[in-house]
Protein backbone atom coordinates (compact mmCIF):
# COMPACT_ATOMS: atom_id res chain seq x y z
CA UNK A 1 0.00 0.00 0.00
CA UNK A 2 1.21 3.50 -0.64
CA UNK A 3 1.23 6.46 1.67
CA UNK A 4 -1.72 8.10 -0.11
CA UNK A 5 -4.11 5.86 1.80
CA UNK A 6 -2.45 6.43 5.15
CA UNK A 7 -5.53 7.28 7.22
CA UNK A 8 -3.89 8.31 10.46
CA UNK A 9 -1.74 10.99 8.90
CA UNK A 10 1.31 9.57 10.63
CA UNK A 11 4.54 8.36 9.08
CA UNK A 12 4.76 5.08 7.19
CA UNK A 13 6.98 3.54 9.89
CA UNK A 14 4.33 4.26 12.51
CA UNK A 15 1.62 2.97 10.21
CA UNK A 16 3.46 -0.34 9.85
CA UNK A 17 4.04 -0.46 13.61
CA UNK A 18 0.29 -0.01 14.14
CA UNK A 19 -0.45 -2.70 11.55
CA UNK A 20 1.88 -5.15 13.31
CA UNK A 21 0.31 -4.32 16.70
CA UNK A 22 -3.16 -4.76 15.23
CA UNK A 23 -2.27 -8.11 13.62
CA UNK A 24 -0.52 -9.38 16.78
CA UNK A 25 -3.54 -8.45 18.90
CA UNK A 26 -5.89 -10.21 16.44
CA UNK A 27 -3.73 -13.34 16.31
CA UNK A 28 -3.41 -13.48 20.10
CA UNK A 29 -7.15 -13.09 20.63
CA UNK A 30 -7.94 -15.68 17.91
CA UNK A 31 -5.50 -18.21 19.39
CA UNK A 32 -6.91 -17.74 22.87
CA UNK A 33 -10.51 -17.93 21.56
CA UNK A 34 -9.68 -21.24 19.88
CA UNK A 35 -8.12 -22.54 23.12
CA UNK A 36 -11.24 -21.42 24.99
CA UNK A 37 -13.55 -23.05 22.42
CA UNK A 38 -11.87 -26.42 22.91
CA UNK A 39 -11.39 -26.22 26.70
CA UNK A 40 -14.18 -25.82 29.24
CA UNK A 41 -12.91 -23.29 31.82
CA UNK A 42 -14.60 -25.23 34.64
CA UNK A 43 -12.63 -28.44 34.06
CA UNK A 44 -9.36 -27.05 32.62
CA UNK A 45 -6.69 -26.38 35.26
CA UNK A 46 -4.70 -23.93 33.11
CA UNK A 47 -7.19 -21.08 32.73
CA UNK A 48 -6.68 -17.49 33.85
CA UNK A 49 -8.21 -16.99 37.27
CA UNK A 50 -9.42 -13.76 38.80
CA UNK A 51 -6.91 -12.44 41.33
CA UNK A 52 -9.66 -10.47 43.10
CA UNK A 53 -11.81 -13.60 43.52
CA UNK A 54 -8.78 -15.65 44.57
CA UNK A 55 -7.80 -13.16 47.29
CA UNK A 56 -11.20 -12.07 48.61
CA UNK A 57 -13.65 -14.80 47.63
CA UNK A 58 -15.95 -12.16 46.15
CA UNK A 59 -16.93 -11.89 42.51
CA UNK A 60 -15.67 -9.05 40.35
CA UNK A 61 -17.62 -7.70 37.32
CA UNK A 62 -15.45 -9.79 34.97
CA UNK A 63 -15.81 -13.08 36.88
CA UNK A 64 -17.48 -15.79 34.81
CA UNK A 65 -16.57 -13.97 31.61
CA UNK A 66 -14.54 -16.83 30.15
CA UNK A 67 -17.24 -19.39 31.04
CA UNK A 68 -19.82 -17.07 29.49
CA UNK A 69 -17.82 -16.76 26.22
CA UNK A 70 -17.26 -20.53 26.22
CA UNK A 71 -21.00 -21.22 26.45
CA UNK A 72 -21.81 -18.45 23.97
CA UNK A 73 -19.48 -20.07 21.41
CA UNK A 74 -21.31 -23.36 21.94
CA UNK A 75 -24.65 -21.68 21.32
CA UNK A 76 -25.92 -21.78 24.89
CA UNK A 77 -26.63 -18.09 25.42
CA UNK A 78 -28.88 -18.60 28.46
CA UNK A 79 -26.03 -20.20 30.45
CA UNK A 80 -23.68 -17.50 29.15
CA UNK A 81 -26.07 -14.80 30.36
CA UNK A 82 -26.19 -16.39 33.79
CA UNK A 83 -22.40 -16.51 34.09
CA UNK A 84 -21.77 -12.92 33.04
CA UNK A 85 -24.39 -10.61 31.50
CA UNK A 86 -21.87 -7.78 31.31
CA UNK A 87 -19.84 -9.23 28.45
CA UNK A 88 -22.90 -9.08 26.19
CA UNK A 89 -22.57 -5.32 26.40
CA UNK A 90 -18.83 -5.49 25.86
CA UNK A 91 -18.54 -7.84 22.88
CA UNK A 92 -20.22 -5.53 20.30
CA UNK A 93 -17.99 -2.71 21.54
CA UNK A 94 -14.83 -4.80 21.08
CA UNK A 95 -16.06 -5.99 17.67
CA UNK A 96 -16.76 -2.46 16.46
CA UNK A 97 -13.42 -1.11 17.70
CA UNK A 98 -11.39 -3.90 16.15
CA UNK A 99 -13.17 -3.83 12.77
CA UNK A 100 -12.72 -0.10 12.61
CA UNK A 101 -9.00 -0.48 13.33
CA UNK A 102 -8.55 -3.17 10.63
CA UNK A 103 -10.49 -1.16 8.02
CA UNK A 104 -8.45 1.97 8.73
CA UNK A 105 -5.02 0.38 8.94
CA UNK A 106 -5.24 -2.22 6.18
CA UNK A 107 -7.88 -0.89 3.78
CA UNK A 108 -7.39 2.84 4.09
CA UNK A 109 -10.97 3.60 5.15
CA UNK A 110 -11.66 6.77 7.04
CA UNK A 111 -14.23 6.17 9.72
CA UNK A 112 -15.37 8.98 11.94
CA UNK A 113 -14.64 8.26 15.59
CA UNK A 114 -17.66 8.16 17.85
CA UNK A 115 -17.22 10.87 20.45
CA UNK A 116 -18.57 9.53 23.72
CA UNK A 117 -19.81 12.23 26.05
CA UNK A 118 -18.19 11.89 29.51
CA UNK A 119 -21.60 11.31 31.11
CA UNK A 120 -21.93 7.99 29.23
CA UNK A 121 -18.47 6.85 30.36
CA UNK A 122 -19.21 7.77 33.98
CA UNK A 123 -22.53 5.96 33.56
CA UNK A 124 -20.64 2.88 32.42
CA UNK A 125 -18.35 3.08 35.48
CA UNK A 126 -21.43 3.43 37.71
CA UNK A 127 -23.10 0.41 36.11
CA UNK A 128 -19.85 -1.51 36.47
CA UNK A 129 -19.66 -0.79 40.23
CA UNK A 130 -23.37 -1.47 40.72
CA UNK A 131 -23.00 -4.86 39.01
CA UNK A 132 -19.93 -5.54 41.15
CA UNK A 133 -22.00 -5.02 44.31
CA UNK A 134 -25.25 -6.74 43.41
CA UNK A 135 -23.62 -9.91 42.12
CA UNK A 136 -22.08 -10.49 45.55
CA UNK A 137 -25.45 -10.60 47.30
CA UNK A 138 -26.49 -14.11 48.30
CA UNK A 139 -28.76 -15.68 45.72
CA UNK A 140 -27.52 -13.43 42.90
CA UNK A 141 -24.05 -14.95 42.49
CA UNK A 142 -23.07 -17.08 39.53
CA UNK A 143 -22.88 -20.50 41.15
Partner 1 sequence: MYCTNCGAANDANDETCRQCGRELPDVSALEKSGITVAVDIPNYLFQAVLVSFCCCIPFGIPAIVYAAQVNGAIERGDLAAAERNSKRDECWCWIAFGTGIIVSIFQVFLQTWVELTSLSD
Footprint on this chain of partner 1 (rule: CB under 8 A): 45-46, 48-49, 51-52, 60-62, 65, 87, 90, 93-94, 97, 115-118, 121-122, 124-125, 128
Q: How far apart are CB 94 and partner 1 at their closest, in Å?
A: 7
Q: What is the DSSP letter of 12?
A: H
The residue among 1 and 29 lying less far from partner 1, judged by its C-beta, is 29
Q: How far apart are CB 116 and partner 1 at their closest, in Å?
A: 6
Centre a 10 Å sphere on the Cβ of residue 39 and count the other Cβ atoms it contains: 15
The residue among 71 and 84 lying less far from partner 1, judged by its C-beta, is 84
Whole-angstrom Cα distance, residue 42 to residue 19? Answer: 35
The residue among 16 and 97 lying less far from partner 1, judged by its C-beta, is 97
Q: How far apart are CB 109 and partner 1 at their closest, in Å?
A: 16
Whole-angstrom Cα distance, residue 63 to residue 50? Answer: 7
Q: How far apart are CB 106 and partner 1 at their closest, in Å?
A: 18
Whole-angstrom Cα distance, residue 6 to residue 14? Answer: 10
- Name the region of 75 (left: φ>0; alpha: ψ -120 to 50; beta: rest): left
Cβ atoms of residues 41 and 47 within 8 Å: yes
The residue among 42 and 51 lying less far from partner 1, judged by its C-beta, is 51
Q: How far apart are CB 118 and partner 1 at their closest, in Å?
A: 4
The residue among 115 and 137 lying less far from partner 1, judged by its C-beta, is 115
Whole-angstrom Cα distance, residue 108 to residue 1? Answer: 9
Amino acid sequence: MDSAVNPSGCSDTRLWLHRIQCAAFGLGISAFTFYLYTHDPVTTPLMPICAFHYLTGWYCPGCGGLRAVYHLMHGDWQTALRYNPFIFMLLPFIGWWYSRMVLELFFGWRIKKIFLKPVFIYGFVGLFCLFWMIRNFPGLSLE
